Amino acid sequence: MIDQDVIDRSNAVAEAALRADYAALGEHLDRRGIDIDAIKDKVAAYGVAIPSWGVGTGGTRFARFPGNGEPRHVFDKLDDCGVIHRLTGATPSVSLHIPWDDAAPAELNAKAEETGLRFDAMNSNTFQDSGQPLSYKYGSLSHTDPAVRQQAVEHNLYCIELGRKIGSKALTVWVGDGSNFPGQTNMTRQFDRYLGAAQDIYAGLPEDWRLFTEHKMFEPAFYSTVVQDWGTNYLIAKELGARAFCLVDLGHHAPNVNIEMIVARLIRFGKLGGFHFNDSKYGDDDLDTGSIDPYRLFLVFNELVQAEGAPDFDPAHMLDQSHNVTDPIESLMSSAMEVQRAYAQALLVDRAALEGFQKENDALMATTTLKRAFRTDVEPILAMARLEKRAAVDPVGAFRASGYRARVSEERPAAAGGGGGIV
């Protein structure tokens, strides 16, 4: 996949400067009472899951412009995910989407071992038709026809069954159900139907599994969506039971919504299941994590670090973004590092000082305390964590030097263009 020599050569060029930068930052943090090695160890232990669908080029409702050497199937996807982890040391797991990634469990396990990966949450797809007997055109778990709901429930149970065989411990359910016109659906009955079907899935959840439901404000339904916001999502998790949690996709909110506050609320009531990280400017843009508003990402991590160590607090972290104009491997590597960066910055917050300023109602100093952590350039910490794992100090540079994309482009035939492709 990626020759270790390529990584080592690229690291050799960067190592001296990195050690000098790390020492200088270590001195600076020491004056703030922070042990840089302790932060580095936490960052090194941190991992974010890659969505299998992220390694293909995305698209919009208008068009899709395929890249070179796109993965043909789940095994190519796992190769690409293995490259991302090899170079960043930050993405030890992959989240599969079924039926897109359906394959024999033994073959999936063998490929995971070969690529040094494990499997994160399973994702069920009942938002498109893929050869199943009944159509999801008018919904899945909330469909008016009980036979369609049953088919969707059974698909989710199949995802759990496959997941059990490949070491997954969670199922993420996102449905496109809703309506496109006022009056098209009875919103109360539709939600009841959803809850009934979700209960059937929950009943099939193994004891050591978690069920994540993911809300989204709109699209593909453009008038109303069954699971449209964190309030509805919380009601679902509460109705279902102790192993049901809410998943927060950063792109699935109305513009200007205070996402870090939603995170705080879900933490307070023990219902934060995990994240789909991405960034957005206008809607569910699926842009690269941290590319538009890195401060918001930091504020989310500020809440997470504050909650660290609370009983049963173990949210799942995954990227979920669409790459239309970049090489997906490069975008996913950059995004994984942005997530790590936000985590590292949040670890630098002087929490005792912050609490003091909050008690005194010193708004200016409280916000300055957060800013001080956010403004710290933690790049040497991230890069040192990579160097010590023999991952790449400069993952994108090493990836380009490796020739991986050109190599797989020879094996993988050019994909067709066409429309759609966004997930």
CB of 239 to Mn ion, least distance (A): 21
How many whole angstroms separate alpha carbon 99 and alpha carbon 125? 7
Contact 145, 85 (CB under 8 A): no
CB of 422 to Mn ion, least distance (A): 11
Return the range that interacts with Mn ion (CB under 5 A); candidates 6-14, 111-119, 270-278, 300-308. Answer: 270-278
CB of 249 to Mn ion, least distance (A): 4
Q: Which of residues 242-261 bind Mn ion (CB under 5 A)?
A: 249
Applying CB under 5 A, which of residues 64, 111, 143, 276 lies at the interface with Mn ion?
A: 276
Joined together, the tokens standing for residue 187 give 């919103």
Query: Could you tell me which of 368, 375, 289, 363 has the C-alpha nearest to residue 326?
Result: 289
Nearer to Mn ion, 320 or 394 (CB): 320
Size of the site for Mn ion (CB under 5 A): 3
Q: Which of residues 16-55 bind Mn ion (CB under 5 A)?
A: none
Nearer to Mn ion, 177 or 320 (CB): 320
How many whole angstroms separate alpha carbon 48 and alpha carbon 343? 11
Q: Per rule CB under 5 A, is residue 284 in the interface with Mn ion?
A: no
Joined together, the tokens standing for residue 61 give 């409702």
98 DSSP β-pair partners: 124
- Spell out, one character per residue from 197 to 236, where the chain touches Mn ion: x when CB under 5 A holds, - when not: ----------------------------------------
Return the range that interacts with Mn ion (CB under 5 A); candidates 5-13, 15-23, 152-160, 315-323. Answer: 315-323
In the three-class reduction of DSSP (H, G, I as helix; E, B as strand; rest coil), residue 421 is classed as coil
CB of 200 to Mn ion, least distance (A): 23
CB of 205 to Mn ion, least distance (A): 20
Nearer to Mn ion, 304 or 385 (CB): 304
Nearer to Mn ion, 247 or 373 (CB): 247
Nearer to Mn ion, 168 or 402 (CB): 168
Overall residue count recorded for the chain in this entry: 423
Return the range that interacts with Mn ion (CB under 5 A); candidates 13-21, 95-103, 157-165, 275-283. Answer: 275-283
Joined together, the tokens standing for residue 106 give 């033994």
DSSP state of 167: T
CB of 281 to Mn ion, least distance (A): 17
Nearer to Mn ion, 53 or 399 (CB): 53
Contact 344, 44 (CB under 8 A): no
How many whole angstroms separate alpha carbon 5 and alpha carbon 86? 12
Return the range that interacts with Mn ion (CB under 5 A); candidates 7-15, 117-125, 263-271, 313-321. Answer: 313-321
Applying CB under 5 A, which of residues 177, 286, 320, 330 lies at the interface with Mn ion?
A: 320
Nearer to Mn ion, 177 or 249 (CB): 249
Joined together, the tokens standing for residue 14 give 């960067």
In the block, which residue shows the tokens 């995954």?
A: 318
CB of 347 to Mn ion, least distance (A): 26
Nearer to Mn ion, 141 or 347 (CB): 141
Q: Which amino acid is at 206?
A: P
Number of H helices, E strands in the chain: 15, 12
Joined together, the tokens standing for residue 315 give 């949210």
Query: Could you tell me which of 54, 49, 118 has the C-alpha nearest to residue 80?
Result: 54
Pairing, β 122-124 against β 178-179: unpaired
Residue 244 phi/psi, 5-degree rounding, is -105, 135
Nearer to Mn ion, 143 or 276 (CB): 276
Nearer to Mn ion, 64 or 276 (CB): 276
Contact 100, 125 (CB under 8 A): yes
Nearer to Mn ion, 316 or 383 (CB): 316
How many whole angstroms separate alpha carbon 70 and alpha carbon 31? 48
How many whole angstroms separate alpha carbon 49 and alpha carbon 93? 5
Burial (CB < 10 A; 0-12, 13-18, 19+), residue 157, is middle
Return the range that interacts with Mn ion (CB under 5 A); candidates 85-93, 94-102, 274-282, 411-419. Answer: 274-282
CB of 320 to Mn ion, least distance (A): 4
CB of 126 to Mn ion, least distance (A): 15
**Binding positions for Mn ion, rule: CB under 5 A:** 249, 276, 320
